[in-house]
Chains A and B, each alone.
Chain A
Amino acid sequence: MFCYNFINITVIFSVNLWLSGWFLGQTIYRKRNRLKVIVPAIILTDLLISFVVTFSYQYNISDWKYPLGSFLHVYIIYLLGMCYRKILYHKKLSVCWITFIFLDMLQSLAQMIIFVFQPGFVYHMADPKERILYSVIISGLAPLLTILFGFLLKRLKTDKAFGLWIEHMDSHPVLFFLLSFSPILQHMAESFIHTHQLSTSADNRMVVVLFLLIIFIILNYTGREELQKLLLEEQKISMQQQNVYIENLENIQQEMKKFHHDFNNMMSGMYLSAKEGDLETISKFILDMSSDFNDQAGGQIRLLNQMKQIRIPELKGLLLTKINRMQKENIHCELEVIYPVSKLSMKTTDLCRCLGILLDNAIEEVLQKEDALIFIMISCQSEVTTFCVKNRLYSAVDTQNIWKNGFSTKGPDRGVGLSSYKKILERYHNIVSHTAVTDGFFLQEFKVQEHEM
Chain B
Amino acid sequence: MIPIYLCEDNETILTMQKNYLEKLILIENYDMELALCCVHPQEILAAIKTSPKRGIYFLDVELTNEPIDGFMLGQKIRKLDPEGFLIYVTAHKNLAFETFRYHLAAFDYIVKENPQTMLEQMRQNLTLITKQLCGAQSGIQKFFSLKVMDVIKHIPMDEILFFETTGRTHRIELHAACDRMNFIGSLHDLEKQLDERFLRIHRAYLVNTEQISELDLKHRELRMKNGEICLFSKNMKHILLERI
Contacts and interface: CB of A to CB of B under 8 A. Distances in A.
B149 A435 contact: no
Contact of A400 (B93, B167, B168, B175): B175
A433 B172 CA distance: 11
Interface in B126-166: 148-151, 153
A214 interface: no
B34 interface: no
Interface stretch (A48-56, A65-73, A323-331, A382-390): A382-390
Most buried by A among B99, B181, B183: B99
A447 B153 CA distance: 13
Interface stretch (A85-93, A352-360, A373-381): A373-381
A32 B173 CA distance: 15
Nearest to B174: A434
Contact of B150 (A31, A287, A338, A381): A381
Nearest to A287: B114
A377 B101 CA distance: 11
B96 A336 contact: yes
B184 interface: yes
A268 interface: no
Contacts of A294: 93
A199 interface: no
A362 to B, nearest CB: 14
B71 interface: yes
Given A381-B103, A386-B102, A432-B182, A32 B148 contact: no
B31 interface: no
Contact of B181 (A336, A390, A434): A434
Given A381-B103, A390-B98, A400-B228, A432 B149 contact: yes
B168 A433 contact: no
B184 A432 contact: yes
Contact of A377 (B96, B175, B181, B204): B96
Contacts of B102: 377, 379, 386, 388
Contacts of A437: 178-179
B67 interface: no
Contacts of B29: none
B180 interface: yes
B178 A384 contact: no
A191 B101 CA distance: 77
B94 interface: yes
B99 A336 contact: yes
B148 A338 contact: no
Nearest to B69: A338
A290 B180 CA distance: 43
A205 B96 CA distance: 71
A453 B171 CA distance: 12
B113 A432 contact: no
Contact of B179 (A32, A287, A336, A434): A434
Contacts of A453: 184
B93 A338 contact: no
B226 A400 contact: yes
A400 B113 CA distance: 44
A319 to B, nearest CB: 15
A382 B97 CA distance: 19
A31 B164 CA distance: 14
B168 A435 contact: no
A429 interface: yes
Contact of A432 (B98, B148, B178, B227): B148
Contacts of B228: 400
A291 B113 CA distance: 9
A201 interface: no
Contacts of B71: 338
B149 A434 contact: no
Contact of A449 (B149, B168, B227): B149
Interface string A422-445: 000010010011111110000000
A4 to B, nearest CB: 39
B98 A336 contact: yes
Contacts of A290: 113
A379 B97 CA distance: 12
A30 interface: yes
A400 B181 contact: no
Nearest to B184: A453
A43 B168 CA distance: 26
A332 interface: no
Contacts of A377: 96, 98-99, 102
A305 interface: yes
A265 B168 CA distance: 65
Interface in B93-125: 93-94, 96-99, 102-103, 113-114
A334 interface: yes
Interface string A257-294: 00000000000000000000000000000010011001
A337 B227 CA distance: 38
Given A399-B179, A426-B168, A447 B149 contact: yes
Contact of B178 (A379, A386, A390, A436): A436
Contact of A379 (B103, B153, B180): B103
Nearest to A383: B150
A433 B227 CA distance: 22
Nearest to A399: B180
**4 tightest Cβ-Cβ pairs between the two chains A and B:** A336-B96, A434-B181, A384-B150, A437-B178
Interface of B: 71, 93-94, 96-99, 102-103, 113-114, 148-151, 153, 167-168, 175, 178-184, 204, 226-228
17 contacts: A31-B167, A32-B167, A294-B93, A337-B96, A384-B149, A386-B102, A388-B102, A390-B98, A400-B226, A429-B168, A432-B182, A434-B179, A434-B180, A436-B179, A436-B180, A436-B181, A437-B178
